Amino acid sequence: MSILARLVVGLIAGFLASKVVNKTGEGLVLDNVLGVVGAIVGGFLFNQFGHAGATGINLYSIFVAFIGSVVVLLIYHLVFRRRAI
């Protein structure tokens, strides 16, 4: 998958996952970064279970990246938990 395709899929997946995890999003740049990292993590996780990872700009790849982005966002929130004052 090309870098441009990873960015597009990562942006979509990161945006959707951030809306599901904390309902407000993390910002455009952080959503994109976490989405691309999530696409990589999602591809790795799906490969470990015997399925194909992200393969291009399609619904399956967005789903794989979305699952990976949710995992990455949950870990991100566990590590960088912000306390209300």
The token duo for 5 is 């395709």
Q: What's the pLDDT band for 83 if we cut at 50, 70, 90?
A: low
Kindly state the average pLDDT of the residues 15-33: 76
Domain ranges of the chain: 3-79
Q: Hey, is 1 helix, strand or coil?
A: coil
Give the separation between CA 37 and CA 77, rounded to whole angstroms: 15
pTM beyond 0.85? no
6/68 Cα distance (integer angstroms)? 13
Q: How far is CA 35 from CA 9, 43, 65, in A?
A: 8, 12, 7
Q: Measured between alpha carbons, how far is 52 from 43 in angstroms, rounded to an integer?
A: 7
Q: Return the pLDDT at 1.
A: 63
Instruction: State the chain's mean pLDDT as an integer.
Output: 79
Kindly indicate the confidence band of residue 8, based on its pLDDT and cuts at 50, 70 and 90.
confident
Integer Cα distance of 9 and 54 in angstroms: 9
